[in-house]
Amino acid sequence: MISFIQKIKSSGDDRQLKKYRKLTEQINLLEDQFEQYSDDELRNQTSVFKERVDQGEALSSIRSEAFAVVREASKRVLGMRHFDVQMIGGLALSDSNIAEMPTGEGKTLVASLPSYLHALEGKGVHVITVNEYLARRDRDLIGQVHEFLGLDVSLNIPGLEPDRKRMAYAADITYGIGSEFGFDYLRDNMVYETGQRVQRPLHFAIIDEADSVLIDEAKTPLIIAGKDGVSTDLSNLCARIVKHFEEGREFHYDLETKTTNLTEEGISSIERGFDIDNLYELEHQTLYHYVIQALRARVMFQRDVDYIIKDGKVLLVDMFTGRPMEGRSLSNGLHQAIEAKEGLEVTEENKTQASITIQNYFRRYHQLAGMTGTAKTEQKELRDIYNLGVVQVPTNQPIARTDKADRIYETIEQKYKAAADRVEELHNEGRPILIGTTSIIQSELVSGELKKRGLSHEILNAKSLEQEVRLISLAGQKNAITVATNMAGRGTDIVLGEGVRELGGLYVIGTERHESRRIDNQLKGRSGRQGDPGTSEFFISLDDEMYRRFAPEEREKLKKNISSDKNGEVKSKKAREFVDRVQRICEGSNFSIREYNLKLDDVLGIQRATIYDLRDKLLERDAVHPILKNIISSHTTEEVRLRCPEDEPDETWDLDKMKENLTLIVPTGDFSFINEDTPLKRIKESVKEQTDSYVVLVDEHLQQEQFSEQLRRFLLSRTDHYWLRHIDAMDRLKEGVGLRSYSQEDPMRQYQREGLELFSMMHYQLEQDVSRQTAQLIHKIETTKKNGVKLK
């Protein structure tokens, strides 16, 4: 029975679709009218729409006409007419939703509608895809329609010179990869001049394969790193030491959370090996860091699963796409620990200079929308984090794909044999087969099984990325067998070859349940596009990693209480329930990780916003006056508060240190009168009076452009210096809080409290540095004046 809540949700979806169908009917009524327009008249509609927007008319009142104009332009330029369901998808996107549309429904053409509509505002539209190939392809295709209508369309890819990036962002519509937009945002907050920025304020973005970008990639933050010295000897030594560690003796490893820590025996081994008394003492913090990273590299990262070795370098593998992540590396010495583990040359360590999570970057857009074939299962997360609804858009043709029940086996060997039997049977019929795997190792195992049977096939994974699009596009041809890591080739349609429909279409075989039903559905969706026939079938084993990782005890108990046939196949209802339940547990665990990372970044995000706001102001030359005066006044007040705390006895006050520091901040002041008998009120009043008097002198000097610019650049430089140190301190705090998770206090509360203390200390040090440097500069100028020397 459908629950009451499900009925409410269903009726809400129906109401939304009903609204969009009515609007689509309105758009259809305009089709005859715009068909009569000449090319110039149709193109001129863009100017008409822009003028209406400038005069204050809402986009919603222009939407039907704008969509009808794009449809007509597409017919003329591409020979492609938007179906009604594509209009519904476009309407959903323009209302800040995720449009869920299966593979082959023409999502690329759907995006042409809201991107045109929102470009009329003149604030920039970003169309974001998962890789450069798709960004370039979509820009070249849909860009023709928008350029025909008089809009500027550009491509933003890694490696562009700043001037070219600036031009790309100045266009009405900019295509590109999500991570590059995020990196540009971080780089823009590291510049020293306003004119060096490339991005405009983030306005409207449409994300293709939205679930991949907003959910799958959300566990990995965007990090800009600079090179920092690393001890190659220490990396190699730690790698050799932990190589001989045994789980349960020197370390513990939690398979579910993928965390590792040293036991008492492990700590003692390190202390004996390095001849130290206490590994946890502050002076051994660096050694401890190297040891932990070496242990993580050994236990948590598996070659040809998490990374590959290519040309003597470690290339990380995207666990959701199977693609190598060129130019990406792990931070805080973990990448170097993997290099040491593999016996490779240890490169310089990447030191974080700026970072932001995917969630917090995309939440900065004024309006967001997305498209994907699978989003409904994650609609709560999309709503809670991004404030995005999910609209399931009807298919243009009924889905004719058959999704068979999972085949469950006791062992991995039995699973692969059964899958290969199925492939051989289908291949003899001439039917094309796509075999989806979750890792490079799995791809190689499947390939080996097929080779034993003499079955010719193509293998597509992170090691053969260049062939990805070509191989995927040919996967629907008669007799084709394609083995693909995860969602390789996503965004490329698999078109059925001649005679394949009659054979039943593309047959998709999954060799393992993914960590999310959504990703399983993505694999299934490669078959049965646009009403084509097709079949999907998963072959899984109770020895698969997900069941060993998330339910090891229940799995062992289940294996003892079930029976299988001669081929090892398990047909028990309990086994099916177990498989479904563990996948849901896995989904919940991954959501918790993303939620935890977001909460951590939210703490840093508040601090990041404070620093970036300060930097924004400092990019404007006139802003240095009020900022500097505020810093000096604030810091003298803080110095009095710090050295003369009101809630502590007078005899504990550090008056000598306060006078020393105040003299360095306010060199024109005289604080010698302060002693043990001076009332606090008198101290505060005098410090304020003398600070205010000094600030007048500072203001006089700030009228000189050379002095003002020198201080502005110094302020930016020191802000960056202390912020980078703070990021590093927060990284270490995050690591330390994780290790203290067994204490009574909630780790998140610890991180928030101690993070605030670190930020307050950073802010104090920044103000102190800037105040003292200003005083030194003014002293130098005043001394030069007295000596009659002209300052250069």
387 φψ region: left (φ > 0), alpha (ψ -120 to 50), beta (else): left
d(CA 108, CA 691): 62
Output the CA torsion sign for 347, 353, 359, 364: negative
Q: Helix crossing, 132-148 with 59-77: angle to 10°?
A: 100
Burial call 615-637: b when 16+ CB within 10 Å, e when fewer: beebbeeeebbebbbebbbebbe
d(CA 290, CA 270): 11
* 79 is annotated as contributing to ligand binding: no
Assigned token pair, 108: 């690329």
d(CA 151, CA 312): 46
In the block, residue with structure tokens 């540095």: 769
d(CA 603, CA 600): 5
d(CA 639, CA 9): 58
d(CA 213, CA 550): 25
Question: CB 398: neighbour CB atoms within 10 A?
Answer: 8
- The H or E element containing residue 154 is strand 153-156
- Residue 154's identity, in one-letter code, is S
* 108 is annotated as contributing to ligand binding: yes
List CB contacts of 127: < 8 A, sequence separation 6 or more.
111, 115, 135, 138, 139, 142, 173, 174, 175, 176, 205, 206, 208
Question: CB 179: neighbour CB atoms within 10 A?
Answer: 20
Strand residues in 255-377 grouped as ranges (E): 259-262, 307-310, 313-316, 349-356, 367-372
Q: Which of 232, 241, 70, 224 is nearest to 158 (CA)?
A: 224
* 257 is annotated as contributing to ligand binding: no
- For 28-35, the CB contacts below 8 A with 24+ separation are 28/84, 30/64, 30/65, 30/68, 31/68, 31/71, 31/72, 33/68, 34/68, 34/69, 34/71, 34/72, 35/72
* 374 is annotated as contributing to ligand binding: no
* 107 is annotated as contributing to ligand binding: yes
Assigned token pair, 469: 């699009």
Question: CB 743: neighbour CB atoms within 10 A?
Answer: 10
For residue 402, the Cα-to-chain-centroid distance in whole angstroms is: 34
Phi (first) and psi of residue 422, to 5 degrees: -65, -40
d(CA 505, CA 269): 60
On the CB side of 443, how many CA atoms lie within 13 Å of its CA?
A: 25
For residue 393, the Cα-to-chain-centroid distance in whole angstroms is: 26
Strand partners, 408: 540, 570
- For 623-628, the CB contacts below 8 A with 24+ separation are 624/702, 624/708, 624/711, 624/712, 624/715, 625/699, 625/702, 625/708, 627/715, 628/698, 628/702, 628/711, 628/715, 628/770, 628/774
Residue pair 485/439 in contact (Cβ under 8 Å)? The answer is yes
d(CA 324, CA 414): 30
Alpha helices for 30-58 (secondary structure H):
31-35, 39-54
Binding site membership for ATP: which residues? 86, 104-108, 493
Binding site membership: which residues? 86, 104-108, 493
